[in-house]
């Protein structure tokens, strides 16, 4: 799996090149990708990853009903899937906000085993980030069925263990990934991954390549998990 703030496909050269984003995702070779800033921020908020381009590279986007007609995400948060990953259900999560922010929840089946994915892009304000973290955790706890859960995204949190990181860590494992921002010389761990305690993690880290260092202002995260034995899909 992957998490990637693609900055609306604008690279370090200030050119909008969605093909470079597709190349980076291909380098990671993920089955599921959570993407932030997948849609333009103003006007009709067209996606920068149109369906034809996604299909050309073997991806399809989760169809969130709340998304604007030309967008694929909820406040820019999108979830991409490869063939072989089954969509069970999906929802957009309402967060307390100072500026437009959101989160999405998707239940998937991989080789018949269920997994819940939460994608998020939190506020620049530390106070609002913590409120948003609490809201996300409340949404997860209120789901009608519990399952192995992975939360990924751009938290905008510069501190390593404090603030909203500590809030998520009370109920989920924090994976020790490295700095992702800025992509050319990363010093801040703005992008994070949290998993539920029963999840077996085989590896996680930051994907660095010549292409990823120029395609966005963030580097992507990668994650490889083994779903818990005995997992069953809902129903």
139 closest CA partner among 195, 91, 209:
91
Please state, as a whole number, how many other Cβ atoms lie within 10 Å of the Cβ of residue 55: 11
Domains identified in the chain and CATH numbers: 2-226 (3.60.10.10)
Q: What was the pLDDT predicted at 42? A: 65
For 130-171, how does the pLDDT look when each residue is reduced to its tens digit (9 = 90+)?
999 999 999 999 999 999 999 999 999 999 889 999 999 999
pLDDT band at 41 (very low <50, low <70, confident <90, very high): confident
pLDDT band at 45 (very low <50, low <70, confident <90, very high): confident
Residue 231, pLDDT > 60, answer: no
pLDDT band at 43 (very low <50, low <70, confident <90, very high): low
pLDDT band at 6 (very low <50, low <70, confident <90, very high): very high
| Separation between Cα atoms, residue 205 and residue 230, nearest integer Å | 27
Give Dmax (Cα) for the chain: 49
| Separation between Cα atoms, residue 77 and residue 61, nearest integer Å | 11
Beta strand 2-5 pairing with 32-36: parallel
9 closest CA partner among 117, 97, 20:
20
Note if the pTM is more than 0.75. yes
Residue at token pair 């980076």: 24
| Separation between Cα atoms, residue 91 and residue 56, nearest integer Å | 26
CA distance to 30, 116, 230, per residue, from 33 (Å)? 7, 13, 24
The two three-digit tokens of residue 109, written as one number: 């089946």
For 218-229, how does the pLDDT look when each residue is reduced to its tens digit (9 = 90+)?
999 999 999 865
Return the half-sphere exposure (C-beta side, CA atoms, 13 A cut-off) of residue 95: 30
């Amino acid at each position: 799996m992957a998490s990637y703030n693609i900055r609306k496909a604008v690279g370090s050269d200030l050119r909008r090149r969605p093909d470079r984003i597709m190349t980076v995702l291909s380098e990671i070779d993920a089955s599921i990708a959570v993407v932030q800033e997948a849609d333009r921020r103003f006007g009709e908020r067209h996606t920068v990853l149109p369906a034809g381009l996604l299909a050309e590279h073997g991806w399809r986007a989760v169809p969130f009903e709340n998304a604007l007609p030309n967008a694929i995400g909820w406040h820019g948060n999108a979830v991409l899937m490869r063939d072989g990953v089954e969509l069970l259900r999906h929802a957009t999560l309402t967060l307390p906000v100072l500026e437009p922010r959101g989160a999405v929840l998707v239940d998937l089946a991989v080789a018949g085993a269920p997994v819940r994915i939460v994608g998020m892009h939190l506020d620049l304000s530390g106070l609002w980030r913590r409120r948003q973290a609490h809201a996300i955790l409340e949404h997860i706890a209120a789901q009608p069925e519990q399952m192995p859960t992975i939360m990924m995204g751009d938290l905008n949190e510069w501190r390593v263990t404090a603030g909203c990181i500590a809030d998520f860590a009370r109920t989920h494992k924090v994976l020790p990934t490295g700095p992702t921002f800025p992509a050319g010389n990363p010093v801040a761990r703005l992008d994070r991954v949290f998993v539920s305690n029963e999840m077996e993690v085989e590896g996680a880290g930051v994907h660095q390549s010549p292409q990823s260092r120029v395609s966005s202002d963030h580097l992507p995260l990668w994650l490889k998990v083994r779903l818990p034995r005995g997992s069953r899909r809902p129903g």
